[in-house]
């Protein structure tokens, strides 16, 4: 938070911007005089690449199926967003609502479960020296490299053997494992939970589990939320696992449902699914995540910096 000696900044070759006062005070390096309009313009020129597809999605969502083909893709025509939305939410007996519900269910249950398992394990790995601790942690760490999609097919075969395929469990259970979450929580717990505090609680006669639940867990909350968010996004975006596990459309999450609509629309097969429904449905499906990202970016960055620096 301390303002660094900014005079050093002027020595840099970068075109120093004269306006200092406007700069954000939160920057801990106080590098207000190093701002470059030229570099800013260069970066701004790159931004359309990242934003244009999203802009297109918004524009396309306002067009009916005929307009999609007959009007210029990057500009508005008659606004038909409302009727598109009606179409999305009424198609196939309103199945889109079911998909939203499924996505929410899968991602929330998986995220809470995975974050809790990872927090308990990460805390134990960080704060206890116990036989087999290092060995177990190495195994978990190594498993970060195991590709989840290569794993999904054998998991499917196993689940088929015990009649778990095409159930909600088949999507939730594999999503509960987050080796990266354990790694992150271990790094986080090592710093966030003071060992002296644990000793003090022990002197007071608290049991180990009680210490975890009533003392450590509170200190671990930011890390917990980071892992929660990670898993939430991963499950929300997951396509491969539900695609192979589920065969009943009523159990699909949004990703699988939208992909199915897309192939139906592309095939032009009689049903009422149209390109405009796929596009508007896509827009609806990303709104919650975009909003969540905007609000929760602080947590993301805090969590990632813990994992990134010490990794």
Partner 1 sequence: MTTSVRTAAAPAGSPAPRRRGASPALRRQHRAAYLLVLPFMVVFTAMLVVPLGYAAYLSLYREQLIGGVSFVGVQNYVDALSDPAFLSGLVRVALFLVVQVPIMLGVALVIALLLDSGVLYAQRFIRLAVFLPYAVPGVVATLMWGYLYGPDFGPFAQMATGLGLPKPPFLSSWMLGSIMNIVTWSFVGYNMIIMFAALRGIPTELYEAARVDGASELRIAWSVKIPAIRSAILLTLIFSVIGSFQLFNEPQLLRTLAPSVIDTAYTPNLYAYNLAFTNQNVNYSAAVAFLLALVIAVLSYVVQLSAQRKERRS
The CA distances from residue 296 to 4, 73, 178, in Å, are: 28, 32, 20
Candidate list 76, 97, 128, 169; residue touching partner 1; CB under 8 A: 128
DSSP result, 93-142: HHHHHHHHHHHHHHHHHHHHHHHHHHHHHHHHHHH---TTHHHHHHHHHH
Mask of contacts with partner 1, 261-280, x by CB under 8 A? Answer: -xx--xx-------x--xx-
Candidate list 83, 157, 169, 268; residue touching partner 1; CB under 8 A: 157
Q: Is 164 in the site for partner 1 (CB under 8 A)?
A: no
Minimal distance, residue 145 CB to partner 1, in Å: 5
With beta carbons less than 8 A apart as the criterion, state whether 299 and 188 touch.
no
Cα separation, 106 vs 90, in Å, equals: 23
- Binding positions for partner 1, 284-303, rule CB under 8 A: 285-286, 289-290, 292-294, 297, 300-302
Q: Is 307 in the site for partner 1 (CB under 8 A)?
A: yes
Q: Is 13 in the site for partner 1 (CB under 8 A)?
A: yes
Greatest Cα pair distance, the chain, in angstroms, is 76
DSSP result, 20-32: -TTS-TT-TT--G
Q: Is 179 in the site for partner 1 (CB under 8 A)?
A: yes
- Binding positions for partner 1, 31-50, rule CB under 8 A: 31-32, 34-37, 39-40, 43-44, 47, 49-50
Cα separation, 75 vs 64, in Å, equals: 14
Minimal distance, residue 93 CB to partner 1, in Å: 22
Structure tokens at 46: 């790159």
Q: Is 170 in the site for partner 1 (CB under 8 A)?
A: no
Q: What share of the chain is helix, strand, coil (3-state, %, to 5)?
A: 75, 0, 25
The contacts of residue 283 (CB under 8 Å, 6+ apart) are 57, 58, 61
Of 103, 125, 121, residue with least CA distance to 172: 103
Minimal distance, residue 86 CB to partner 1, in Å: 20
Candidate list 255, 273, 277, 280; residue touching partner 1; CB under 8 A: 255
Q: Which is nearer to partner 1, 1 or 82 (CB)?
A: 1
Q: How many residues bind partner 1 (CB under 8 A)?
A: 117
Stretch that binds partner 1, among 81-89, 93-101, 171-179, 220-228 (CB under 8 A): 171-179
- Binding positions for partner 1, 184-243, rule CB under 8 A: 202, 207-209, 212, 233, 236-237, 239-240
């Amino acid at each position: 938070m301390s303002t660094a000696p900014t005079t050093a900044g002027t020595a840099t070759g970068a075109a120093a911007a004269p306006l200092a006062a406007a700069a954000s005070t939160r920057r801990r390096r106080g590098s207000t005089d190093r701002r470059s309009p030229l570099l800013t313009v260069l970066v701004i020129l790159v931004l359309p690449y990242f934003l244009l597809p999203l802009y297109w999605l918004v524009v396309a969502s306002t067009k009916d199926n005929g307009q999609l083909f007959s009007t210029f893709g990057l500009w508005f025509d008659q606004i038909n967003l409302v009727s598109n939305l009606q179409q999305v939410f009424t198609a196939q007996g309103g199945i889109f609502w079911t998909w939203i519900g499924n996505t929410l269910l899968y991602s929330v249950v998986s995220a809470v479960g995975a974050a809790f398992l990872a927090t308990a394990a990460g805390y134990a790995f960080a704060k206890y020296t116990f036989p087999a601790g290092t060995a177990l942690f190495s195994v978990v760490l190594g498993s970060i490299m195991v590709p989840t999609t290569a794993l999904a097919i054998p998991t499917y075969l196993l689940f088929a053997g015990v009649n778990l395929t095409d159930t909600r469990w088949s999507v939730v259970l594999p999503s509960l494992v987050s080796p990266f979450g354990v790694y992150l929580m271990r790094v986080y717990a090592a710093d966030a939970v003071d060992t002296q505090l644990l000793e003090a609680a022990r002197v007071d006669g608290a049991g180990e589990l009680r210490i975890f639940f009533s003392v450590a867990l509170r200190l671990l909350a930011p890390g917990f939320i980071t892992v929660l968010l990670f898993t939430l996004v991963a499950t929300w975006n997951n396509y491969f696992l539900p695609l192979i596990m589920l065969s009943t459309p009523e159990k699909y999450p949004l990703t699988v449902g939208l992909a199915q609509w897309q192939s139906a629309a592309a095939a032009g097969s009689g049903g009422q699914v149209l390109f405009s429904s796929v596009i508007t449905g896509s827009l609806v499906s990303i709104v919650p995540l975009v909003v969540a990202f905007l609000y929760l970016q602080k947590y993301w960055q805090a969590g990632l910096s813990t994992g990134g620096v010490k990794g």
